[in-house]
Amino acid sequence: MRSYRDFLAAEPVRVSAVLRLPLIVLIAVLVWFWEVDHWLPQLYAVILGVYAAVAVVWLLAVLRGPVPRWAAWASTAVDLLVILLLCVVSGGATAALLPVFFLLPISVAFQDRPGLTAVIGSITAAGYLTVWIFYSKRDDTMGLPNMVYTHFGFIVWMAVATTALSFVLARRAARLTALQEVRTQLVSEAMQSDERHNREVAEHLHDGPLQTLLAARLELDEARDRISDPALDHVYAALQDTAAGLRATVTELHPQVLAQLGLTAAVRELLRQYQSRHDIDVIAELDEVGKPQSQSLLYRAARELLTNVAKHAGAGTVWVDVHRDGDRVVLRVRDDGNGFDPHQVGNSVAAGHIGLGSLLARFDAMGGAMRIDSAPGSGTRITAVSPPEPLVDA
């Protein structure tokens, strides 16, 4: 599971992959309009056909899976190499392919990599001039038209302009990254402050009101042994219920099992309590994941999602899965309930129901991810993924 920031980092490669297909169509159309003979027509057709097939496969790959860091420059280098090869084997059709050279620098400008843009722009200009020299030398009657130098100047200018554009985009991207890091830090500090506050409140309730209530219950129990009065039994039952409610509140504010035994044990205890309170079957697959730094966020997500299932889903069964996936921890909660339209989460936040929307914002801000798969009448599956981080040993 990739975060939104991972998606943004790979977006330029996907855009290039999409734009490459119209570029191939443009090459075919330009040559067809010029109606000229190739020097090596079979080889030209093979190169263009393989290029088109590889471009389609590459587009499907980058849309469906993670994009490696080398994908941007490698795919652009292949574009440039193929264009040069097509020009070399095309002969009289070379002139039809020359406008494509003007498009190559633009294809890398939005990658926010000024150095790569400058290199590709320079190589493109040099390749354009080289192809014309090769073409003119092979055809003795052709010569080197003066317009070639003008076009060469235009491509050099475009290389400089796109490099400057890429530099501006890179600076803006750096500022956005810095703001994102500040946001992540603020969210982390807010969560830590929230956890400290919950711990302090839980300790106050446990050491103060709960202990006083237990002491009162003990004294009342001794009084019941001496005096037989139904009213004392009612008071004792009320004290029992109040003490149980306080214990549940203390556990919810600051679950000791989470701090002492880690996320897996805490979720297992949460499910035990959940099943005792609700008429919902729970099927769990909980791998031992230790104590990830984001365990408080994942535990809060598990509690919020289970609460939503009990309140809104009308489900008979809920499946909960916790496991490691590389350097991330994955929490998945699925139910067979009513389902809903995930696009309505924003409307729910506007109406004051901020639970699920708050989780989405927290995971995104921390570098994790949360995906909602649901539809009315089809149940709901929510997958929460922690940010990439080392796990703390239990």
Whole-Å CA distances, 29 to 34, 47, 93, 310? 9, 16, 12, 60
Residue where a domain terminates, one of 159, 184, 209: 184
Task: Identify the residue whose tokens are 């076009």.
Answer: 151
Whole-Å CA distances, 126 to 82, 118, 140, 347, 359? 15, 12, 22, 55, 52
What CATH code is carried by the domain that includes residue 335?
Answer: 3.30.565.10
Q: 127-132 contacts: CB < 8 A, separation 24 or more? A: 127/80, 127/83, 127/84, 127/101, 128/98, 128/101, 128/152, 128/155, 130/84, 131/84, 131/87, 131/88, 131/94, 131/98, 132/94, 132/98
pLDDT digits (tens, 9 = 90+) for 319-347: 999 998 888 899 999 999 888 888 776 65
Q: Specify whether the CB–CB gap between 162 and 169 falls below 8 A.
A: no
Residue where a domain terminates, one of 184, 203, 229: 184
The total of other beta-carbon atoms located within 10 Å of residue 106's CB is 15
Burial zone of 5 (CB within 10 Å; 0-12 exposed, 13-18 middle, 19+ buried): middle
Clarify whether residues 265 and 373 are in a common domain.
yes
Alpha helices in the chain (DSSP H): 4-34, 41-64, 71-90, 94-109, 114-138, 147-205, 211-226, 230-253, 256-261, 263-277, 295-308, 345-350, 355-365
Q: Which residue has the higher pLDDT, 92 or 58?
A: 58
Task: Identify the residue whose tokens are 């009657």.
Answer: 141
Clarify whether residues 68 and 151 are in a common domain.
yes
The total of other beta-carbon atoms located within 10 Å of residue 334's CB is 21
Confidence band of 246 (pLDDT split at 50, 70, 90) = confident
Backbone angles phi and psi of 336, in degrees to 5: -105, 35
- What pLDDT score does 83 carry? 77
Residue 376 pLDDT > 60: yes
Tokens read off for 220: 């009342």
Residue 60 pLDDT > 80: yes
Whole-Å CA distances, 204 to 198, 245, 251, 254, 296? 10, 15, 13, 11, 20
Of residues 112, 110, 111, 106, the one with CA closest to residue 160 = 106
* Mean pLDDT across 304-311: 88
Confidence band of 308 (pLDDT split at 50, 70, 90) = confident
Clarify whether residues 209 and 173 are in a common domain.
no
Confidence band of 354 (pLDDT split at 50, 70, 90) = low
Confidence band of 131 (pLDDT split at 50, 70, 90) = confident
- What pLDDT score does 320 carry? 93
CA distance 394 to 387: 19
Clarify whether residues 157 and 26 are in a common domain.
yes
Number of domains in the chain: 3
Task: Identify the residue whose tokens are 């999409």.
Answer: 18
Clarify whether residues 237 and 301 are in a common domain.
no
Of residues 37, 30, 170, the one with CA closest to residue 102 = 30
Clarify whether residues 238 and 289 are in a common domain.
no
Clarify whether residues 266 and 347 are in a common domain.
yes
CA triple 392-318-266, angle to 5 deg: 25
CA distance 120 to 115: 9
Which residues partner with 385 through β-bridges? 330, 369
* Mean pLDDT across 301-309: 89
Structural domain that includes position 104: 4-184
Strands 281-286 and 317-325: parallel
Q: Which of 21-35, 197-211, 233-247, 380-394 has the highest mean pLDDT?
A: 233-247
* Average pLDDT score over the chain: 77
Q: Residues with Cβ < 8 Å from 90, sequence gap 6 or more?
A: 31, 38, 39, 40, 44, 96, 97
Clarify whether residues 150 and 214 are in a common domain.
no
Tokens read off for 288: 């031992």
Clarify whether residues 269 and 233 are in a common domain.
no
Residue 91 pLDDT > 70: no
Clarify whether residues 179 and 195 are in a common domain.
no
CA distance 102 to 55: 20
- What pLDDT score does 332 carry? 93
Clarify whether residues 248 and 337 are in a common domain.
no
* Mean pLDDT across 241-260: 74
Whole-Å CA distances, 24 to 20, 44, 95? 6, 13, 16
Residue where a domain terminates, one of 184, 201, 224: 184
- What pLDDT score does 334 carry? 92
Clarify whether residues 52 and 175 are in a common domain.
yes
